[in-house]
Structure 1
Amino acid sequence: MELDEYLPALQRADARFAEAAAAAVLASGWGARVPGCPGWSLADLVWHLAEVQRFWAWVVRTRAVDRSAYVPPHRHPDDELLGYVAARSAELETALAGAGPAERVWTWAPQQDVAFVLRRQLQEVTVHTVDVEQVVGDVRPIPPAVALDGLDEWLEVMVPAALPDGPPADAHPVVLHAVDADAERTLFPGTKPFPIAALTGTAGDLLLAVWRRAPLDLLTVDGDGLQAAAMIGLVRLE
């Protein structure tokens, strides 16, 4: 994705999250369990996204170069959460609209700029929207460009964050083929002469698989599916 595509995509993703959350509350209630986030209720998930967006809005708005001055919010009652998360989404969108992508801000990654926040927050709300939609069993497709960028971010940012010393000695490459984006990516390239498996599906299904929101049997697996799942399982982020 180009830099100027992220903010409009984030705005669309925020709107989709808000719509999905309202529908899930109506259908299942705030106490409904979230399949993709074990131990979380729907209220926990909505509060989490609101907290995350509030924090990154503060980082961008203040051009913070560290996070020590940030004051976390108090948990809001469930009946206020839909309005609260909508306000935090708008706050984040406004902060990002007023900042240049190259401006320096604190992040937890080597890339310390607003562009990182744009990308990360688009992917944050994209995956959590699917979490909400799974509560009521009505998951809509992720736009291919957003999903492929999310897959790239997972490979470029999340894999090194989870494995800062590089892949373990027993790692094998896994090929990820996104049919709707006409693109191919590889997890752990160069670790062995041949990939252990190739996984084929939409970019969205691949993204959900690597984030453990969808089983590999949703994909076409050529090779050792159990070992492919084990390779993806090496990438653990707390």
Structure 2
Amino acid sequence: MNRTDYIHALRRDGARLAEAAAGNLRSAVPSCPEWTVADLVWHTGEVYIFWTMIADGEIAGFDDYVEPERPAEDELLAWFAGTLERCAAVLERLDPELPRWTWSDRQDAGFIQRRMAQETAVHAWDALAAVGRDEPVERELAVDGVAEFLAHFGSTPPAGLPEEGLHLHATDGPGEWSVRAVDGAWQVREEHGEGAAAVRGTASDLLLLLWQRRTPEQLETFGDPDALKLFLGAFRRG
């Protein structure tokens, strides 16, 4: 995926989130315990503000950021629409290779463009699911999201992980990943293979599994369930 794809996805899924939230701000969000839809809208909009300021060169990192005041509930969706469009407009004009601070080992605007599209896709799913609409993440974006998650969200691999690793297999088109812990670091390869544990599902369901929106029981799993639990627990999500 490229910058144009990410900005299109950001606007599309941001609009889907807002559409689901309209009239449902006080509904609970089962995938984000203790949050209402209003909390989800606020969180996502604030994420846009932070990364827009990073991308635009206004701040250099977390230490420079001051949290904005949360809008009143009747102003929240209009505020969200504004933060979404400013984020998209700023990211749209930036060269993906432009150096920018991020928390990852990828320090460029392209990381932010990708991260905002992915953040929005998962939170749009949260909002839609909260109002009874379990709609999949768009397939190409979901495949990219699995790759992003495996590349950037791994904590230090814990001791005791099986050498055979974890295998993920998309069932709705191309997309396979082998994940192993090698010499205290993650080794991720996009390849066919087997592992101590394996999971098969649509690209959307694999992404939602990694982000703890699906449980292993909702997908097709093979191998050692304890190994699967260890691998899934070794990634950070916030």
User: Which interval holds the TM-score relative to the shorter structure?
Assistant: 0.7 to 0.9
Residue 232 of structure 2 aligns with which residue? 232
- State how far apart, in whole Å, the 1-side matches of 2:221 and 2:197 are: 7
Q: Which residue of 1 aligns with 2:189?
A: none
Report the AA paired with residue 230 of structure 1.
L
- Does the 8 Å CA contact 2:129/2:135 hold for their aligned counterparts? no
Partner of 1:170: 160
- Displacement of 1:42 in angstroms is 1.4
Letter in 1 for 2:5: E
Tell me the TM-score normalized by structure 1: 0.88
State how far apart, in whole Å, the 2-side matches of 1:67 and 1:216 are. Answer: 34
SS, match of residue 127 in structure 1: helix
How many corresponding residue pairs?
227
In structure 2, the CA distance between the partners of 1:102 and 1:223, relative to structure 1 (3 Å rule), is: same
Partner of 1:180: 172
1:222 equivalent to 2:204? Answer no
In the alignment, the residues of structure 2 paired with residue 200 and residue 190 of structure 1 have an alpha-carbon distance, to the nearest angstrom, of 23
**Counterparts of residues 121-160 of structure 1 (less than 5 Å):** 121-159=116-154
Secondary structure of 2:25 counterpart? coil
- Could you tell which deviates more after superposition, 132-141 or 198-207? 132-141
**CA-based RMSD:** 2.0
Deviations 1:17-38 (A, max 9, x none): 122222xxx2xx4332211111
CA contact (8 A) 1:145 1:181 kept: no
CA distance in 2, matches of 1:206, 1:194: 16
Q: Is residue 186 of structure 2 the alignment partner of residue 195 of structure 1?
A: no
Distance 1:145 1:190 in 2: 29
| CA drift at 1:204 | 0.3
Distance 1:30 1:222 in 2: 39
What displacement does 1:8 show? 1.6
Task: State the shift of 1:71 in Å.
Answer: 2.8
Following superposition, the deviation at residue 119 of structure 1 comes to 0.7
Please report how far the alpha carbon of residue 225 of structure 1 lies from its aligned counterpart in structure 2 after TM superposition: 3.0
Q: Is the 8 A contact 2:4 2:92 kept in 1?
A: no
Deviations 1:122-178 (A, max 9, x none): 11011111111121221212111100110001100011xx22xxx122113111001
Alignment of 1:43-62 (within 5 A): 43-62=38-57
Unaligned runs of 5+ in 1: none
How far the C-alpha of 1:78 sits from its partner, in A, is 1.3
| Distance in 1 of aligned mates of 2:28 and 2:171 | 32
Return the alpha-carbon distance in structure 2 between the equivalents of residues 70 and 219 of structure 1: 40
* TM-score normalised according to structure 2 size: 0.88
Distance 2:89 2:6 in 1: 13
- Identify unmatched segments of 5+ residues in structure 2: 184-192
More helix by share: 1
* In structure 1, distance between residues paired with 2:27 and 2:180: 37
2:170/2:206 contact within 8 Å kept: yes
The alignment-based identity, stated in percent, is: 37
